[in-house]
């Protein structure tokens, strides 16, 4: 355990950031935690930094982050696409990479009224479904997950972000029996035993991360079930690992589906765009 951060806001941020050497964004982490402790936004903190001292609660937050607990679990929030989600242990923390699926859907429906019905398979926090419903206010949708903890989190987000438009229910890759205009899915795709940072493997649910020795177990199931769930002129946007474009796409093509690739902002393979 390190020394308590100094109380002056600037010093407190510097002390905290110096402890987060394992993070790619130590200063940002410290700013988010101090803003959370003060009950203000990070933007407000940066504009008024000289006016603040670190409250006693900040030291406890720093200790949690120093133990590699994810920032999103500490603050309980995560921005994704155009929405702010509540997140908690039991559901995967939404990543910016997953916004690639929404970008792919926007491109598919460009020049149209957009999808009427949206399905999110393995909804987790509800991020993909609720981002899509925020993108297309005339749409409604369903988010399915097998995890009771994730369902609780997703339902809370759905009530806040898309009241009356999102149904969150227990379910698996087989869907609901309905065909949807847009299907979104971020399944587990990490090979069992793969090395991951402590903040991922020690805090996020293994059931949302790992998918067998090659990371393809869930894709094998999804590929066999997906075609009947895509409505005419519809699309499925499926997240993949950066090195799974060929291996995952082959499974969907073998099931008679057409597959295109979309890369994330870093230029890495990230999304299979699947049509029937």
- Supply the pTM of this predicted model: 0.94
In the chain, domain spans: 9-67, 89-275
Report pLDDT for 4: 54
DSSP one-letter code for 208: G
Contact indicator for 260, 272 with CB cutoff of 8 Å: yes
**CATH 3.40.50.300 correct for 89-275:** no
pLDDT tens per residue, the chain (276 residues)? 555 546 799 999 999 999 999 999 999 999 999 999 999 999 999 999 999 999 999 999 999 999 999 999 999 999 999 999 999 999 999 999 999 999 999 999 999 999 999 999 999 999 999 999 999 999 999 999 999 999 999 999 999 999 999 999 999 999 999 999 999 999 999 999 899 999 999 999 999 999 999 999 999 999 999 999 999 999 999 999 999 999 999 999 999 999 999 999 999 999 999 999
- DSSP conformational letter for 7: S
Tell me the CATH architecture of domain 9-67.
Answer: Orthogonal Bundle (1.10)
Nearest Cα to Cα of residue 33 among 50, 1, 55, 11: 55
């Amino acid at each position: 355990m390190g020394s308590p951060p100094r109380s002056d806001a600037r010093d407190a941020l510097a002390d905290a950031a110096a402890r987060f050497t394992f993070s790619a964004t130590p200063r940002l982490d410290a700013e988010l935690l101090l803003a959370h402790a003060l009950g203000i936004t990070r933007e407000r903190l940066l504009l008024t930094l000289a006016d603040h001292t670190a409250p006693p609660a900040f030291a406890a937050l720093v200790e949690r982050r120093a133990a590699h607990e994810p920032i999103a679990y500490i603050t309980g929030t995560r921005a994704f696409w155009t929405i702010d989600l509540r997140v908690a242990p039991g559901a995967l923390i939404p990543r910016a990479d997953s916004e690639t699926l929404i970008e792919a859907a926007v491109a598919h429906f460009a020049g149209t009224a957009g999808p009427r019905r949206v399905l999110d398979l393995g909804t987790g926090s509800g991020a993909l479904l609720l981002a899509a419903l925020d993108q297309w206010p005339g749409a409604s949708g369903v988010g399915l997950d097998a995890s009771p903890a994730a369902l609780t989190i997703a339902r809370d987000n759905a009530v806040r972000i898309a009241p009356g438009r999102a149904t969150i229910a227990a379910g698996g890759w087989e869907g609901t029996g309905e065909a949807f205009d847009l299907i979104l899915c971020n399944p587990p795709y990490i090979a069992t035993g793969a090395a991951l940072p402590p903040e991922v493997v020690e805090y996020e649910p293994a059931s949302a991360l790992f998918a067998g020795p090659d990371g393809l177990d869930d894709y094998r199931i999804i590929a066999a079930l997906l075609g009947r769930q895509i409505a005419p002129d519809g699309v499925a946007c499926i997240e993949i690992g950066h090195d799974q474009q060929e291996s995952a796409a082959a499974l969907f093509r073998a099931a008679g589906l057409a597959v295109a690739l979309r890369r994330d902002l870093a230029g890495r393979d990230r999304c299979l765009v699947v049509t029937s």
